[in-house]
Amino acid sequence: MGTVVLVGAQWGDEGKGKVTDFLAARADIVVRYQGGNNAGHTVVVGEEEFRLHLLPSGILHPEKTCVIGNGVVVDPAVLVGEIESLKRRGIKMARLLISERAHLIFPYHRLLDGAEEKRKGNGRIGTTGRGIGPAYVDKMARVGIRMSDLLEDATFSRRLEENVTFKNALLERVYDAEGVSLPEIFDAYREYAAILREYVADTGVFLHQAITAGKNVLFEGAQGTLLDIDHGTYPFVTSSSPTAGGACLGAGIGPRVIDRVLGIAKAYTTRVGGGPFPTELKDELGEKIRDQGREFGTTTGRARRCGWFDAVIARYAARVNGLDYLCVTKLDVLTGIPVLKICRAYRYQGKEITDFPASTSVLEACEPVYEELPGWEEDITGARRLEDLPENTRRYLERLSSLAGLPVALIGVGPRREQTIVCHDAFAC
Ligand code: GDP
Ligand code: IMO
Ligand code: MG
């Protein structure tokens, strides 16, 4: 398998968790490299459903190692809760390592996230409210607190006090909100430190040694290309780098050790939160896709906005991530729709454009240019080979692949592990 980076090619929720869990069988190590518990990755194994927010989606394979890289922002309350919930369910977890360089999320980050959204009013981003943005702000402002600080009592106490003093002033005087209690946070975080200490390590050294020894490593992106702080639909983005380059920064590896990059895309498109979405369906068909695809957020339960597959986005994702293959998920959800549309270009001020625009107002003014293809009625959830799919399903896939300019490696025809069709051995590195 070598080293494979798996990224979301749309606005998140593409089914990265399921694909990571599926591919983890062939990996030795699964690494999360950015984001935090804004992510919600649903993995279905047998009759059981697991909703993971911080633990990498390889965690259900007990013989593997999972790594939370330095680029992740860790809310220790959520992480401890997730570990304990798996233990309570009797799940034997993969070995877990957490980077000592990973930054922490504190209660004041969550409060600031909410206060800032409230201040923005109608212009709000629609964040998950998990404190992700403010935690990355602190990291960049060089006032963040890292996992290694949490394990050193004196350093932790000093840095926490500095932060709480300033954040309380900000909350109370600028946002007219209530501040937080320093002793309460200190005590709670001391308890998290006691639980998490055994997992904290220099994961950069671990990954370097593993890659040098020829281990198979899967880097699991959270969110998606269009939520990337640089390449996404700014400002309606998250505060990290979900694109493939983020794997280098967020895991501490060099770009030359990456063998393959896989883009995960739904057979249609969804988005949660605010921001432009050219192929959005605001009608009954959008609702039908939402119902059939159970498109409600894993983290916040919000209804996801649904629309047609957008090949302009797929080509953009191919370029900024250097994708080798596309994995097309949730193809089964399109069953029973008589005519399917794929957006091949945008029309802007009377001209066709094929490059994804940077400006929000330009994107909002873009009209999708569609191709139409006939749908299919057959149930495809039992298909396990490409040949098992109806002719119209294969034609849809072929067109999607050709417009995206990428070969398709995997196809998802249902949420379970085994509901996966492997078309290309993208992992024979
Ligand atoms: P992620 O954030 O990219 O991991 O995606 P989510 O887990 O938030 O959302 C994807 C949802 O679709 C989850 O509920 C999955 O169980 C489900 N899912 C994944 N792949 C498929 C598929 O091929 N078909 C169907 N019907 N559901 C899928
Ligand atoms: P997974 O990993 C879909 C969206 C939020 C909001 C914007 C910023 O499950 O694909 P944030 O809380 O990150 O500051 O919110 O990003 N968002 C996601 N949308 N899937 C996700 O993760 C997301 N994580 C954040 O809805 O629009
Ligand atoms: Mg999700």
- The pLDDT value recorded for residue 264 is 98
- The alpha helices in 9-49, defined as continuous H runs, are 16-24
Ligand nearest to the CA of 43: 1
User: Are 340 and 415 within one domain?
Assistant: yes
* pLDDT score for 124: 96
Please give the structure tokens belonging to residue 293. Answer: 């695809």
Tokens of 195: 């639980």
Among 172, 199, 226, give the residue marking a domain's end. Answer: 199
The upper half-sphere exposure of residue 114, i.e. CA atoms within 13 Å in the direction of its Cβ, equals 11
CA distance 362 to 333: 31
Query: How remote is the C-alpha of 12 from its chain's centroid?
Result: 5
User: Does pLDDT of 257 surpass 90?
Assistant: yes
For 8, half-sphere exposure in the C-beta direction (CA atoms, 13 angstrom radius) is 30
Instruction: Give the model's pLDDT for residue 315.
Output: 98
* Residue 360 and residue 223 share a domain: yes
Residue 89 identity (one-letter amino acid)? R
Greater confidence (212 vs 298) lies with 212
Distance, CA of 324 to chain centre? 19
Q: Which ligand has the shortest distance to the CA of 383?
A: 1
How far the first Cα of the chain sits from its last, in Å, is: 5
pLDDT-derived band of residue 427, with 50, 70 and 90 as boundaries? low
What is residue 297's predicted lDDT score, i.e. its pLDDT?
85
Query: What are the C-alpha distances in Å from 170 to residues 109, 285, 288, 365?
Result: 11, 45, 44, 37
Residue owning tokens 């057979």? 267
Distance 300 CA to ligand 3 centre (A): 10
Q: Are 294 and 231 in a shared domain? A: yes
pLDDT tens sequence across 151-202: 999 999 999 999 999 999 999 999 999 999 999 999 999 999 999 999 999 9
Neighbours of 294 (CB within 10 A): 11
Confidence at residue 426, expressed as pLDDT on a 0 to 100 scale: 66
CA dist 312 and 277 (Å) reads: 12
> Using an 8 Å Cβ cutoff, are 232 and 18 in contact?
no
271 lies in some domain: yes
| Atom of ligand 2 lying closest to residue 274 CA | 27
Q: Whole-angstrom Cα distance, residue 10 to residue 133?
A: 20
Q: Are residues 268 and 232 in the same domain?
A: yes
Domain limit, last residue, from 199, 215, 231: 199
Instruction: Tell me the CATH number at 243.
Output: 3.90.170.10
The domain that contains 143 carries what CATH number? 1.10.300.10
Q: State if residue 412 touches ligand 1 by the CB under 6 angstroms criterion.
A: yes
Mean pLDDT of all residues in 318-341: 98
- Match 């860790």 to its residue by tokens: 74
Which distant-in-sequence residues (6+ apart) come within 8 Å of 191 by Cβ? none
Write out the residue range of the structural domain in which residue 160 sits. Answer: 103-199
Give yes or no for residue 35 having a pLDDT over 90: yes
What is the arithmetic mean of pLDDT over 22-29?
95
| CA-CA-CA-CA torsion sign (374, 376, 381, 386) | negative
Rounded (5°) CA angle 424-245-129: 105
Q: What integer pLDDT is reported at residue 428 of this predicted model?
A: 67
Q: Decide whether any atom of ligand 2 lies within 6 Å of the 17 Cβ.
A: no
DSSP class per residue in 241-309: --STHHHHHHHT--GGG--EEEEEEESSEEE-SSS--TTB--SHHHHHHHHHTT-B-TTT-PBPEEE-E
Tens digit of each residue's pLDDT (9 = 90 or more) over 338-381: 999 999 999 999 999 999 999 999 999 999 999 999 999 999 99
Same domain, 218 and 287: yes
Please check whether residues 117 and 215 belong to one and the same domain.
no
Task: Give the pLDDT confidence of 2-17 residue by residue, as tens digits.
Answer: 999 999 999 999 999 9
Contact 421, 384 (CB under 8 A): yes
Give SS3 for 231: coil
The confidence score (pLDDT) of residue 424 equals 84
- 182, 199, 216: which is the final residue of a domain? 199
At 322, the pLDDT band (50, 70, 90 cuts) reads very high
Catalytic residues: 13, 41
65-68/305-307 β-pairing: unpaired
pLDDT for res 121: 96
Are 403 and 297 in the same domain? yes
Per residue in 393-411, pLDDT (tens digit) is: 999 999 999 999 999 999 9
The average confidence (pLDDT) of the chain is 96
C-alpha of residue 316 to centroid of ligand 2, in Å:
19
CA of 16 from ligand 1 middle (Å) equals: 7
Same domain for 142 and 48, yes or no, is no
